[in-house]
Amino acid sequence: GAGVSQSPSNKVTEKGKDVELRCDPISGHTALYWYRQSLGQGLEFLIYFQGNSAPDKSGLPSDRFSAERTGGSVSTLTIQRTQQEDSAVYLCASSLELSRGYNSPLHFGNGTRLTVT
């Protein structure tokens, strides 16, 4: 596709359930990022992938959060035993290879709005 695609666009889940959020980056983009946008915390970095490896996962808030990337493309963010404070918009972004540095802008998806009831 032309842009970063995220699914589902909306997810309502009960407290304690597991959820999976999916991100399809722009074709050819080797760098992939997850951010979270919430009312209380604003926009926060969660994790960064270069290819299939995650050199920086320091923003994951707890061990209930995990992410993987396969084939250097699709990424899945998994939240286990969801809590109400996990309610937020989860944003995925991708960019061209690292060697291009910051001249390669981040392209953001429209996000997945997660509501934990």
Which residues here bind other proteins, judged by CB under 8 A?
3-4, 31, 33, 35, 42-45, 48, 50, 55-56, 59, 91, 93, 95, 98, 101-103, 105-111
Of 114, 89, 105, 113, which is closest to residue 26 (Cα–Cα)?
A: 105
Of the pair 69, 82, the CB lying nearest other proteins is at: 69
- Look up tokens 């250097």; give the residue: 72
Cβ-defined contacts of 100-107 (< 8 Å, 24+) = 104/31, 106/33, 107/3, 107/4, 107/25, 107/26, 107/29
The least CB distance from residue 53 to other proteins, in Å, is: 12
Measured from the CB of residue 67, what is the shortest distance to other proteins in angstroms? Answer: 15
Least spacing, CB of residue 22 vs other proteins, in Å: 15
